[in-house]
Amino acid sequence: MRDNQLRRSVALTGIGRMLTICVVTALLLAGASLSVAAQSKFITEFAMDTPTVDVPFVYSQHQIIIHGEAGGKKDLTLLFDTGASVPLFDKSLELEGYNFPDAVIQEADGNSNARAVLLGDLVIGQDQQIVRARNLGVLLSDLSQVSKVMGRKIDGIVGLSFMTGFIVEIDYGKKNLRFMSPRKFAISDRKPDNQSTFLLSLKDSEPKRPTSTLLVSGKLIGDYDYDFILDTGFGGYVSVAKAAAQLSGLMKNDTPHIPAESFSVSHRFKSEKIRASFLMLGDINLSNRIIQVDARNGDSYGQNGIIGNRLLQNYRITLDCQRHRVWLERPTSKEERDQAAKPTLGLTIRTDGGMIRVVRVAPMSPAARAGVQMGDEILRIDGLSVGEIGMQTAITILASPDGPTDLEVKHDMNAGGDSNSQATLKLIPASPLDWHAE
């Protein structure tokens, strides 16, 4: 049997990444020559102590962090990632199990190696509230880049092949994962109102493969059909491949954009943010939201979009992998905006004792349009002197204005101004993506 008949593709997209892992699996080599008893050790088994199991999580940097145990290693810090098709653990744990041939992780802007093993036991939760999977295929690789991005040691990433044994509810408000038996619970018969509740169908990214990520269908501008990976490992809002954004007309040459940065397991790469003039996810209208446009490996890799936690956190999510359905229920009308949507003045300042001086004015920003110049000393904000307001409050107002802001400034002669000239300027805060508008 040739190698290409043995390969299966395993996709991991969390932590803002889209990568494909080709695993040559020893299970397919076993075939009918193994006895039933021998083959049974390759069968993944799922178990729960009670009909429902609640597992609290920490929500940090738009990532779901839980604790668990793998291969006898206890108190591990894990990311819960629906964009990862299989679990991935740091190789420093030296987890043991039935060895498959090694795997190559093909990720954004480069490859890395992984060791594939059949893990005896993966446990999530603690005390009497645990769920577990036995005989689960996992990958071992270097997760130091993930730990660096998260600012804490990350031991592993829990992927879909673990979740497929359960129905999983993700409650971002209560910071709780609820695991339920797919034999006793179902969401397929729920009736959505398509306003605050939605029932979306899921499909496999690679239907002919035994393990793949789950996709939600949507539309870009111009009635352009497009699929998104449901990915709790992506800390952004929505990501679209640059090629698709351009082909659909969502992103044109004159579309305002600002630079951004994303991370994979072992690499980082640049992306852009734009305001999507039209975007639908099933019956959910996401038009006019700020999204990320990614070009990875020359746009030859990762052509699906990604739905991440900044969007998903606005809902209570119930994921039924076996029946390929996901239920979204919106408990609040509040929504966290992308950082790029935050209204700003476009100023960079420095403080020197009781004085605030402008060291940079962003081109096309509200400050530039109002006439603020590099080197200006800010004397008053909304009619009050810096001394009256207090330095810390003044800095906060300049960094996060909540409306039109009047600045009285003194121009710096060394920067080309008149040292005696003062001016009162009105600045209207706007998102960097909207600075181009008149």
Give residue limits of the domains in the chain.
Answer: 3-180, 342-434
Residue 310's alpha-carbon distances to 159, 338, 405, in angstroms, are 19, 8, 29
d(CA 169, CA 362): 44
pTM of the model: 0.81
Pair type for strands 88-90 and 129-141? parallel
**308 CB neighbour count, 10 Å cutoff:** 28
Query: Looking at residue 107, what is its pLDDT?
Result: 55
Query: Looking at residue 412, what is its pLDDT?
Result: 77
CATH code of the domain made up of 342-434: 2.30.42.10
Q: Residue 3: phi, psi to the nearest 5? A: -55, -40
Tokens of 4: 């290409």
For 172-210, what is each residue's pLDDT tens digit? 999 999 999 999 999 988 999 999 999 999 999 888 776
The pLDDT-based confidence of 309 (bands split at 50, 70, 90) is: very high
Q: What is the rounded average pLDDT of the residues 283-307?
A: 80
CATH 2.40.70.10 fits 3-180, yes or no: yes
d(CA 349, CA 220): 39
Q: Is the separation of the CB atoms in 80 and 64 below 8 Å?
A: yes
Handedness of CA 334, 336, 338, 342 (dihedral sign): positive
